Amino acid sequence: MSAARVGVVTFPGTLDDQDAARAVHLVGAQAVPLWHADHDLKGVDAVFLPGGFSYGDYLRCGAISRFAPIMAELVPAAGAGLPVIGTCNGFQILCEAHLLPGALTRNVSLHYVCRDQRVRIEQTATAWTNAFEQGQEIVLPVKHGEGRYVASGETLAALEAGGHVVVRYAGGNPNGSLNDIAGIRNEAGNVVGLMPHPEHAVEELVGAPGTDGLGFFTSILKNLVDA
Ligand SMILES: NC(=O)CC[C@H](N)C(=O)O
């Protein structure tokens, strides 16, 4: 079988695309660079929306990126089942594009937070978390100023009842997210967004926080092989 092709989108101001591409490469898949102004997804098997400060975070994080040409391709493709993950700014973009419910707002502390954070994998029935154990605790870096997940009471109840909370903060909540939510999935489970950064936790050589992030990348390979 030829290597799975995972598109990594770069917007002006994206920071983490190189790390995401490296993580894709480390699990034996091919990273396909996608530019915000592209009008096609180049036939990729999955898409990674990396973190950063796309379009300078102007208006709100992700508010302008949502209108980038590549998003006009990505939104219907995700609706048709293409596996998509957004980390940090990528999660913010997925919420702004209404591929995921709710919004990411200023951290309650009003300070940017940068630390290694323990989180719990609450849901393994997604394209991006199937390689983990249900309830597994892992450590991933967080680094954001607008990571406080909020949603209406009705949406929160639906997320909880449907098992759509994928990752939850454990041992402290870095930003005041409601219900300690660090990441969620869509109804179908192909779209996942989370504030922590799995792509920064994939190589022993880098030291802390270790390689707990690799599971997100091995999950997508497993998903593509099983599909
Ligand atoms: N690391 C990131 O992706 C940062 C996201 C966003 N710019 C924020 O500060 O909230």
Q: For the domain that residue 163 is a member of, what is the CATH number?
A: 3.40.50.880
Which residues form the domain of 26? 5-226
Ligand 1 atom at shortest distance from the alpha carbon of 197: 1
Query: What integer pLDDT is reported at residue 30 of this predicted model?
Result: 96
Question: How large is the ipTM?
Answer: 0.95
The answer to whether the CB of 62 is under 6 A from ligand 1 is: no
- Four-residue CA torsion sign, 45, 223, 163, 140: negative
Give residue 51 CA to ligand 1 midpoint distance, Å.
6
User: For residue 10, how many C-alpha atoms fall within 13 Å in the half-sphere facing its CB?
Assistant: 13
Q: Output Rg (C-alpha) for the chain, integer angstroms.
A: 16
Give 132: exposed, middle or buried? Use CB within 10 Å, 0-12, 13-18, 19+: buried
Decide if 200 is catalytic. no
CB neighbours of residue 172 within 10 Å = 9
Ligand 1: distance of its center to the CA of 50 in Å?
10
Name the 3-class secondary structure at 44: coil
Q: What is the pLDDT of residues 200-221, one digit of tens each?
A: 999 999 888 899 999 999 999 8
Q: What was the pLDDT predicted at 68?
A: 97
Cβ neighbours, 10 Å, residue 134: 11
**Under-70 pLDDT residues of the chain:** 1, 227
Could you confirm whether 61 is annotated as catalytic?
A: no
- pLDDT, position 208: 81
Domain count across the chain: 1
Can 199 be counted among the known catalytic residues?
yes
